[in-house]
Chain A
Amino acid sequence: MIKFDFDYYKPDTCKEAYELMCELKGVNLNAVYYAGGTELLSNFRKGKMTVDAVIDLKSIASLVGIEETDEFYIIGSATPLNTIIEYPGLESIALTIGQIADHTIRNALTIGGNICGRLPYREAALPLLALNVQVVVYDVNGKMTIDFRNIFDKRLKLEKNSFLVQIKIPKLINFKAFDLRNTEGIHVDYPIMHQYSTMKDNELFIVLSGYASFPIYEVFNLKQLKAEKSLEDIKVLIMNSFLEHAKEDERASVAYRQQLLCVSIDEMLHEFGGELID
């Protein structure tokens, strides 16, 4: 049971939604954008969060569903994860986001909600960071396309009242991916550590969720890695980039997370190793 009242708005356009948010904030009302609602309603019920209004984005056509151009799959930010997972051609991100929550939840949980929510894991961001996709945001100037990596630093850093509209996944992209997710027990749980890595062009990209208090990533130049003497040297170099960020919580210690990382990096190097040693 949600113990406080709020108003419910369902705008039809990005402009309406943005202007409404400005208007509500302008009179000191606490409003939030709303899509799948899975995280917000849970926080409302627990009393962790109260609002005066929710602005449901699901009637805005550009935010819901998947379109294709010659170059991109364009995913509306209010598209449920299962819609993305089941869409032919989006296998590059389906494996990773298919591990978030459970199947039924993923019929409601949206990709934008997962990225922009308060939970620190934001696992849908992992492949988007790795592939350095472009995203469309709506702000005071209207729609704007930005590189995802330029606006994601621990969380999505959007201008006041702005929101994520679309995610553009490039087609015909050739890369190797590595994905390893560790939970405390059953697989339907938050990750103690979720590593996603890609090797493409001249970069090895490694991003971690659950390991630190927020998703963290590093980009390694393949030529520099290949200059190392052995895979063990490469492993030490990679480990040193992440070691200090390991967090301690009730589910795992710093040392445990560092050991998980060590094992995970070993497995990744085993998969990618042949191309890292000349």
Chain B
Amino acid sequence: MIKISGYKEIKLSINHEDFLVLVKPNETLLRVIREKLGLTGPKSGCENGDCGACTVIVNDKPIKACLVLAVEMEGKSIITVEGLIDTEIQQTFVDHSGFQCGYCTAGFLVNSYALLETIPNANANDKVEWLSSNLCRCTGYEGIELAINAAQDLVKKRKEKL
């Protein structure tokens, strides 16, 4: 049985790189990623699981980093928005103005990436179902939708080549 009381050094695998970090059980993954590892892509919005700005991918599934403890994450593969460099979704968000103030963008990018990697042929219902987990207070949803649709074409082409 594992017991953690007070500080403990744990190993987190983030964007395919291992980090040793000293954490306490009461620290959420979001706080550790941002404040101890300096990866400020995942944003602190509501910290209540509502806004999705903190979304990261854990073992291929999007989760809200504000609602999970860092100590639970040892041995798991975590991807943050910093790990999406040179991906299709990054480029299409630029091409189609998929952001306004930008605060929600990291969460939308990460969740969209997870969706298209999981369901490359996602239909409109799938997109609504997955992306309803994220809020854009600027209401920039039209650009986000265009960006996801454009990325989907590129992801499908990439996967067809494999």
Contact A9–B47 (Cβ < 8 Å): no
Q: 30 A-B residue contacts at CB 8 Å?
A: A5-B6, A5-B26, A6-B26, A8-B3, A8-B4, A8-B5, A8-B25, A9-B3, A11-B1, A20-B1, A37-B72, A38-B67, A41-B66, A42-B48, A42-B49, A42-B67, A44-B26, A45-B47, A59-B2, A101-B49, A103-B130, A103-B132, A103-B133, A104-B52, A104-B55, A104-B62, A104-B63, A105-B67, A107-B62, A108-B68
Counting residue pairs across A and B whose Cβ atoms lie within 8 Å, the total is 92
Cβ contact within 8 Å between A108 and B129: no
A105 to B62, CA, bound (A): 9
Q: With A41-B67, A42-B48, A188-B133 given, can you name 11 additional A-B contacts, CB distance below 8 Å?
A: A4-B26, A6-B26, A7-B4, A8-B25, A8-B71, A20-B1, A41-B28, A42-B67, A46-B48, A104-B133, A107-B61
Chain B's closest residue to A107 (CB) is B61
Q: Give the secondary structure class of B's interface.
A: mixed
Contacts of A16 in B (CB 8 A): 1
Which residues of chain A are within 8 angstroms of B2 by Cβ–Cβ distance?
A: 8-10, 59
Structural contact, B24 and A104, CB atoms closer than 8 A: no
One digit per residue, 1 when the CB lies within 8 angstroms of any chain B CB and 0 when it does not, for chain A 11-49 equals 110001000100000000000000001100110111000
Residues of chain A lying within 8 A (CB to CB) of residue B25:
5-8, 54
Q: Chain A interface residue count: which class?
A: 35 or more
Cβ contacts under 8 Å, A186 to chain B: 132
Please count how many residues in chain B sit with their CB below 8 Å of the partner chain's CB atoms. Answer: 34
Interface assignment of B21: CB less than 8 Å from any CB of chain A: no
In contact, B26 and A37 (Cβ under 8 angstroms): no
CA distance A226 to B53 in the complex (A): 53
Instruction: Give, as a whole number of angstroms, the nearest-CB distance from B28 to chain A.
Output: 7
| Given known A6-B25, A107-B62, A187-B132, contact A37–B3 (CB-CB < 8 A) | no
CA distance A46 to B48 in the complex (A): 9
Taking CB as reference atom, which chain A residue is nearest B126?
Answer: A103
Residue contact B133 to A102, C-beta cutoff 8 Å: yes
B13: min CB distance to chain A, Å: 18
B49 touches A105 (CB 8 A): yes
Q: Determine if A1 and B31 form an interchain contact, defined as CB atoms under 8 angstroms apart.
A: yes
Contact present for B129 and A103 (CB under 8 Å)? yes
Would you list which residues of chain B between 90 and 148 have a CB under 8 Å from chain A?
A: 111, 129-130, 132-134
The 4 A-B residue pairs with the shortest CB-CB distance in the complex, in nearest-first order: A8-B25, A104-B133, A102-B133, A10-B2
A14 nearest CB across to chain B (Å): 12
